Amino acid sequence: MTSRNLTTLRSVETADAGEEPAEWSDRLYRIAYGAIGWPWLLFSLWGGTRASKQRLLRRLRLDDDALPHLGSWKADTGFLHRIVDAVEELRPATVVELGSGASSLVCARALELNGGGHLISYDQHAPFVAATAQWLRDEGLEADMRHAPLRHRSPDWPGTWYSLSDVPASIDLLVIDGPPWAVHPFVRGAADVLFTRLKPGGIVLLDDADRPGERVVARRWRRRWPDIAFSRLPGSTKGTLIGRKAHAGIGGVPAQGHSAQSSWNRGWRRAAAIAALLASGWIANELVRDMTAPAQAASFVDEASASYSASLARQGMHSQVETTALNRSEIDTATGLHLPEIPQGWAISDVQVYPSSSGMSVAIVLMTDRAEMISLFAKRAETPAETLPMLAHRDRRSVAYWEIGPFAYALTGELPAERILQLAAITAGSSEPR
């Protein structure tokens, strides 16, 4: 189970006795979405960079060979970092996982390092459940590993679903990495049966969110669950969808207007209609309608500007203690954020770690070699920028922002646009990809 052992490219295929056979319509959907989605499936063979895996191991204080070779049907390093982000943010009492494996070890270890918590993990393959449980014990970790054969059919979603037992009434974090897409491209949509159990402020994480089937699932979840704010997160080869349940409001009931009777429970009608759907380009239409809109930097720029305001407020308060100590390695280990090196001649006035909409963020107040005060803001985010800084304005402030891999950075200051872009270019040059 560790990197000392080889793992296959394909997922485990052993079926348990009594599992429901696939319907013809399910098979046709698999063929159609396999033909459309093969680029995503091929790209998913890559499990992330070696540097990202090493950062994850350091972050969890695990040995170098504690994790298997990632990629293929296993979670990639980006999704595993997201799990750690969520555990660090929520300090959850109860985590429910659908689909066991490397994510189980990472989640159990993150819980151990962040105040404890109970992990309940379900998987359809009994031998794999037993092997994963032993793997965790070998690493000195505890989790409730449960066998959940695919013997159930949801009235709202196609494909066979887990036969779940004794699911907790209250869930802080729900991690969805199963069943495999080969059951049905939309099968993970049935995980929404657990959304009413999600506590206010709780988080849903869906792996493989860039695949065509999961894009359709995400769109339907947004319609059916208006009290959960869903968004895609960067930093994963397969894509990650995060959902945050509102602390108060609509009350966790699916929006009306979706008829289970008319949608999914008559398999023979679906089988008869699938050829017409394919011929009319329905699947392509589903995908085109759900493709992510161009990434917007507004929220990231707002956060960068807000961190600058907070820094100004801290400087004017005698009760707030500022720190000039910057340990990039410690911040990398604790937050998963890679900070650029501070240019020579610049001085650090303050370093702070803040919560953000996608895990942790870091704000550093700097004085340039010309005694200009600026703020460097860093977090995991998706913006239209790449390595070349882009410019935005907030009030009298100039904000230059750029991306390196999964990380987004911004320099904010009450400086002319040309100067802030010049300073950003200097800083971006030290933001090496990881």
DSSP for 44-88, written as a single string: TT----HHHHHHHHHHHT--TTSS----TTSPPHHHHHHHHHHHH
DSSP state, 176?
E
Mean pLDDT score, 192-214: 93
Percentage of the residues of the chain whose pLDDT score is greater than 70: 73
∠ Cα 188 192 197 (to 5°): 135
Yes or no: say if 374 and 420 are a contact pair by the CB < 8 Å rule.
yes
* pLDDT given for residue 41 in this prediction: 55
Mean pLDDT score, 81-90: 91
pLDDT digits (tens, 9 = 90+) for 233-242: 866 667 899 9
36, pLDDT greater than 50: yes
Domains of the chain with bracketed CATH: 24-290 (3.40.50.150), 298-428 (3.30.200.100)
Reference 378, options 392, 366, 358, 361; nearest CA is 361
Q: Which residues contact 305 (CB under 8 A, 6 or more apart)?
A: 394, 395, 397, 399, 412
Q: Report the b/e string of 142-179 with b at 16+ CB within 10 A.
A: ebbbbbbbbeebbebbbbbbbbeeebeeebbbbbbbbb
Q: Which two tokens stand for residue 328?
A: 């990039």
* pLDDT given for residue 415 in this prediction: 95
* pLDDT given for residue 4 in this prediction: 37
46, pLDDT greater than 80: no
Which burial class, exposed, middle or buried, applies to 42 when counting CB atoms under 10 A from its CB (0-12, 13-18, 19+)? Answer: exposed
pLDDT digits (tens, 9 = 90+) for 209-234: 888 888 889 999 999 999 999 988 86
Half-sphere exposure of 35 (CA within 13 A, CB side): 8
Reference 229, options 243, 218, 215, 239; nearest CA is 243
- Higher per-residue confidence, 280 vs 354: 354
Tell me which residue has tokens 């999914």: 264
Give CA–CA dist 231/233, Å, rounded.
7
**What single letter denotes the amino acid at residue 59?**
R
Give residue 286's pLDDT band: very low, low, confident or very high (50, 70, 90).
very low
One-character DSSP codes across 136-154 = HHHTT---EEEE--EEEE-
Reference 400, options 317, 281, 297; nearest CA is 297
Q: Which residues contact 336 (CB under 8 A, 6 or more apart)?
A: 55, 56, 59, 81, 84, 85, 359, 360, 380
Yes or no: say if 143 and 121 are a contact pair by the CB < 8 Å rule.
yes
- Higher per-residue confidence, 269 vs 351: 351
Please give the mean pLDDT across all residues of the chain.
80
Among 257-266, 273-282, 392-401, the range of highest mean pLDDT: 392-401
352, pLDDT greater than 80: yes
357, pLDDT greater than 60: yes
433, pLDDT greater than 50: no
**What single letter denotes the amino acid at residue 183?**
V
**What single letter denotes the amino acid at residue 225?**
W
